[in-house]
Structure 1
């Protein structure tokens, strides 16, 4: 399981021109799920992302977590995080989990965030989406488990 984390001032995701998920200050998570990933990995990543100290305190230092600032999370499924570009010019997505398997973990990931008491917005699994964001910093991290 691989996630790309971006600290944002705001973010939204659109499908067919309609906003389906939107947050204010918080974290945008692009979630990639590989073949064989499991709930244990999702639990670890959720705990990690919710407690990462990537928000500035009064001294402008990274000392505050999403929970401490009352931030929100926007989760967007992103199978292309498992695109392998080592050979040829077209990425291979063989490492990405099949959609039915990935959907179950995607939904579990969202449920686990909600259990942390954090407001969650989402994209639409498997849909063609447009993601708009104002990256704050910018702060962008890759977490993998």
Structure 2
């Protein structure tokens, strides 16, 4: 199984997630508050949030993708793990401010985007921005289908 196959399963699974926007927002806020030494906890919780993807083939590919992300986390490559979780067609930015806090922005395909401010680490800023963008995408999709 190629890295591209596992990545596609992961990214499409994220895109199909219809999670609770409030819960995603709360998880984003929690991620921002984690210190650099607590990033592993952040990844563990975010990965658990997106554990159910549907059919057996998607589950197999998702498991491989999670294995790759967990490997990156286990080796301390937190920035790489965060980037691996962002859909390949998303636009993302991030950086460190003068006061040492981190900011990030993620814009998903279709234009749903969000940001993170005052995170304690760049990977958790990306995670928070991604979670908020997914929450916004879910709200926008529900609004579009309810009219």
| TM-score, length-scaled by structure 1 | 0.28
Greater RCO, CA 8 A, separation 6+:
1
Higher strand share: 1
